[in-house]
Structure 1
Amino acid sequence: MKLLIYGSQDFGQTVAALASDCGHEVAGFVDDFNHGPNVVGTSQSIRQSHPPQSHSIAIAIGYKNLPARLAAWLALREEGYLTPSLIHPRAYIARDVRMGEGVIVMAGAIVDVRARIHDIAVLWPGVCVNHDAAIGRNTFLSPSTTICGHADIGGSSFIGAGTAVVDYGVVPESSFVPMLSRWTRRTPQA
């Protein structure tokens, strides 16, 4: 099955390179606002030209518009498009990690035992998600972010480069953490 990339700008180009590294054949870009080389159509027009029976899709809408990113993913899934996870061959994912659909994991990322990565989360190079942590749906973890054990990152959040979230830390849903921030600790469950 050929893969379409929804979004043709910088992040889309990065996701296309990752998809190729993962062995996918990229059929082109889908973009509702930009035209350019390899843009095969809009989210509306591809249903005819690149139907879900022969194409899957990767969501490459960036973190600056997380609500639109989530809405696009939900609409495309409703249309029947599969959204495979793209995990770079040089990322480390423990065997017992639970991973949702459409997750993007870049080279050098580490996801430790019993972690949970929910749908369409993005882990940039150097991200370290430690044991038992949970990364919410549609969340971006920027380069060199460290999520310590049992931390819980709410959905549709952006965590900036170099940020460390401590053991049992909680980042509320829809948070924007620009960089190098600390979050409060929650009490472990007995």
Structure 2
Amino acid sequence: MKKLFLLGSGGHSRSVAEVSTDRYSAGQVKILSLEEFALLPEDSCLESVEFLVALGDVKKRNAYYKLLLQRSWRVTNLVSSKAFLADDVTLGQGSVIMPGAVIRTAAQIYPNTIINTSVIVEHDCVIGESSNLSPGTVVCGSCNIGNQVFVGAGAVLIDGISVCDGAVIGAGAVVIENICLPGLYVGNPARRVK
């Protein structure tokens, strides 16, 4: 019987644990704090364990994902049975798709990405590695979101927008121009504030 270890002990990990019940029984899922994870011997033979990073912070999420890969430990995906993914969506390992999410045709979701509750990712979008789209985000068609991008709740990106690696888009922001420099972007229209 396979087990699922979720890394992180905050609210996001508990939400991910709820989604895991589509595929695992309660006894198969263990939420590990980062302190508990640090105690696992690096050379552990964990053939019956699958891992998933359940941290919302994109930098920490990326670091722990890379550590799992370095140790050659199995990283899995979780997709809620209450999400919709078009048949031709590409989904990288370690990604989480939460309830109510809609991911349309030809979208590419890179590894270790969070597509949170009720997020819409339209056709031909690319969502970079270790990014986090918060609840209610709308990403219109043909957008390209870089790696380790955090998008706040309810943000909207209009068609064809590109967002550079490491950008942070605040809750409720409306992005109508490409974001080419890392920083915090807020407002309608979204503007860089730091």
Scaled by the length of structure 2, the TM-score of the pair is: 0.84
Corresponding residue SS for 1:4: strand
Which digits, 9 at most, give the CA deviation of each residue in 1:124-159, with x for residues without a partner? 111000000010111111111111111011110111
Q: CA shift at 1:121, angstroms? A: 0.6
Name stretches of at least 5 consecutive residues in structure 2 with no aligned partner. Answer: 180-194
One-letter identity of the residue aligned with 2:7: Y
TM-score, reference length from structure 1: 0.85
Cα deviation, 1:4-60, whole Å, max 9, x if unaligned, reads 011112111111111113336534222234xxxxxxx32342557x73311011101
Higher mean C-alpha displacement, 174-183 vs 161-170: 174-183
Q: What amino acid does structure 1 have at the position aligned with 2:38?
A: S
User: Which 5+ residue runs of structure 1 have no aligned equivalent?
Assistant: 34-40
Q: Could you say which residue in structure 2 is the equivalent of 1:5? A: 6
Q: What is the CA distance between 1:89 and its match in structure 2?
A: 0.4
Give 1:183 deviation, angstroms. Answer: 3.6
Distance of 2:97 and 2:105 partners within structure 1: 16
Tell whether the 8 Å contact from 1:20 to 1:26 is kept in structure 2 after alignment: no
Alignment coverage as a number of residue pairs: 176
- CA RMSD in angstroms comes to 1.9
CA distance in 1, matches of 2:4, 2:41: 12
Range 82-91 or range 17-26, more displaced: 17-26
Measured in 2, the distance between the counterparts of 1:106 and 1:32 equals 22
Deviations 1:57-91 (A, max 9, x none): 1101222xx22221111111221211111000010
Once residues 12 and 52 of structure 1 are traced to their aligned partners in structure 2, the CA distance between those partners, rounded to angstroms, is 20
Q: Which segments of structure 1 move beyond 6 Å, counting only runs of 4 or more?
A: none
